[in-house]
Each structure stands twice: as structure tokens, then as C-alpha cells.
Chain A
């Protein structure tokens, strides 16, 4: 891994996103979410509030859920990133199917972030309780559903995979 001894305004970043390795020169000021959306054309990751509050931009960075608007792309150098595009191939994952079955989205804007937070939770806790799901999704805001169906969908997905 490259280590910069002298500060520079751009860096070569090597990052694996959804299993594909990319090497790009990026400005130090570029947010990870912009790198994913604008440089790699992975527009499934949404920008909601752009203040680190809403969670629409949630991705997995080395396996843990992070808000990609509060991470610089250069900080992801050498890391594995998973975005919503990387959750399933052509078919929906059980979690995604559960969102569909429980009508866990209306406008869908928050859904990629919800799915990434929920899948991180399920990876740690295969069968979370309703309370655990609510805590796990605390960093994700939805303005349509009132959350009930989202919580139900994640609890059900957990039961399905337990």
C-alpha cells in the first residue's frame, strides 16, 4: 500500500467495489459517495442530506456500515466497499425480497441505505428482534413509511435466514 510522506491534493486510490478492483486518481477533497456515483457510475448509493444525518448514502467499508458522505474517497484506499448494487446479482436477496413483500418502501429514496444498514445488522445478528432492528436502523431516515414496514421486513428477513 502506498503511503504519502508529502501531503498532496490528489492521490491514487486502489479500492475494491462489489468485487471489482479499481485504481483511480482522486482529489483528496472528494467524498466517497461522489467517487462511487460520479467516478464509478454506481448511482444506487443516494445522497440525501449530505450532512451525515440521513443514512441514504450508507455503504459497507471493510464490512461495516458507514455513511459514504462522511468518508473521503482517499480514506477508502485499500478497502473493500460494498454498495447496494453488490448485494445481489440478478435476483433479489432475501432481505430485498422481504422489503418488497412487506411494502417497506414508498418513494424508495432511502431504500439503498436502509438495505445496507439492515444487511450489516443481519451479518452480525442473523435474527434480530424488533428493538434490535430499530437500533440498527437508527442512522437511516425515511420520510414516507413511518418505518413500521421497514422494521417488519428486516425482522422477517432475519427469521427467514436464521
Chain B
């Protein structure tokens, strides 16, 4: 399929990338292209200028600084799966990366791309909210850091403004007494989600985020409070999650009615909580 005509530049530095994005109207960062190139075929996106981040190796690094796992926005899903830093600090990221699409897509697709698209059915937005991640965004005016709760703004929308570039995702390293889980129903084994939940516990404090039930990941704060400090087993998890669905206003579509999504959100939350609790017990 032919794409609409587009201009293209491949900056050699992050600063040059930001300059290109801010100087050209209709400019868009091209990361792995596994979403963008395909939606450009459908004309669902029609950027005038593509700023290809492909040569910016400094955006691909994965490292640990103190108790923070720092992942460059251009780290591919495949590199996250192979990273010893991820395996030691926050293995759930690799486990979830391995469930996205297929080998070829994971070889090109990036963490930054997955969250900047902010498709409500994507895997990483709810997971990063549950993990308490933060995002570093660079613009011509300098750098700013956003929490994951602030980063996701709407369907296909993030807090990354025009002329800005997501450069890094920071995730607190897990440790003893910490555990993460993610569960849901997908279209096909490794397809996009119909509904999901991600849960994370550290020293009895919980963060739970639901995907596919709103424009952005939805925090289940009432459930988090009920679980705080609890010795979590299946009965405790089910009791804590009871009534969660009624608080949600999910969309209805060809894959699931709103009511079915409410039910899936509850079931997914219970499963994610139990996974996290089990890992936290070691």
C-alpha cells in the first residue's frame, strides 16, 4: 500500500530530533514504526514530516541507577525481553513484552512507541501505571518528568506536547516483599487486550491499574486501599475487588459489551493481584 507523500529526516542527536520536531509543523517521531507505518497506510495518521529516531542509540540503553531501572524510549520489546537489568530489577516488563504480537514486531517495536501511541488496548500503559513509572520528556525548553498517571491523557493521546520527545521511562526496581502481576483477555494468544489489569505490591502497599475500560488506564484506588497490608489470598482478593465493575464506565464494542468488560475487569484484577501477591511472598 502506498503511503501519502511524507518528508523524512534522521537526526544524529536527541537535540537535533527535538529541534526537528519543534521546527516542523505536522512532524512526528518515528520509533519502531510497528504502529505508525501501518496506520499511515490507512491514513489514520498522516504526518507531514517523520523524524526517524532509529540512529539514536543513546535512546536504546537499559540501565540501573540506584534503585531505578532506566529504559530508553527506543529500547525494543525484544531487547527488554533479553535485558539482565530488567530481569533483576522488574521482570514483569520482560514477561509482558514477550506477550506482545510476534517476533518480528518485538524486534522493531519499542517501549516508547507502545506508550506514546496510548492505544487503550496496548499492554504497557496500565502496567507502567501499576508499577509507578515516570517518564522523561524533552523539549526545546528543557526536560520534564511526568508520573505515569499524568502521562496518559486520552485515547491515542499523551502529555508529550508538540515539539517534545519522550526519552526515558524510569521504573522503580522491585525487591524483597515486592511483586507484580498482569492478567486479562486478549484477541488471540498475543493480541491486543479486550480488558486487563496490572497489579503491583511493595511492602503491603498496592497499585492496581485497569486497561481497556476507559480512555486511559484507570486506577482501582478503592481496591488498593482494601488490600493495604492484608495477607492476600484468593478470598481476600475477591472481596476487595467486589463492586469494582460497577464503578467503571467501559466502552462497548464488537469484542465485548460494557457489562462484560466490567466483569472481565474484576476477574483480571483478581488474577493480577494473586500473581503479584505470590511473587511478593517470594
Q: Which A residues are within 8 Å of any B CB, using their own CB?
A: 1, 3-9, 11, 27-31, 50-52, 55, 58, 64-67, 69-72, 74-75, 77, 117, 120-121, 135-136, 138-140
Contacts and interface: CB of A to CB of B under 8 A. Distances in A.
Contacts of B3: 29-31
Interface stretch (B31-39, B128-136, B203-211): B31-39
A5 B112 CA distance: 23
A136 B38 CA distance: 22
A50 B42 CA distance: 11
Contacts, number: 107
Nearest to A76: B54
B41 interface: yes
B102 A71 contact: no
B5 interface: yes
B29 to A, nearest CB: 13
B246 interface: no
Contacts of B8: 4, 7-9, 11, 28, 72, 74
Nearest to B106: A139
Interface of B: 1-12, 16, 20, 24, 27, 30, 33-34, 37-38, 41, 49-52, 54-55, 78, 101-105, 107-108, 189-190
Contacts of A72: 8, 30, 33, 37, 50, 52
Contacts of B1: 31, 50
A139 B108 contact: no
A136 B78 CA distance: 12
A67 B20 contact: no
Contacts of A67: 104-105, 108
B242 to A, nearest CB: 37
A89 B210 CA distance: 52
A7 B50 CA distance: 8
Given A5-B9, A7-B9, A9-B8, A31 B37 contact: yes
B49 A66 contact: no
A36 B224 CA distance: 53
A4 B20 CA distance: 10
Contact of B107 (A9, A52, A65): A65
A52 B5 contact: no
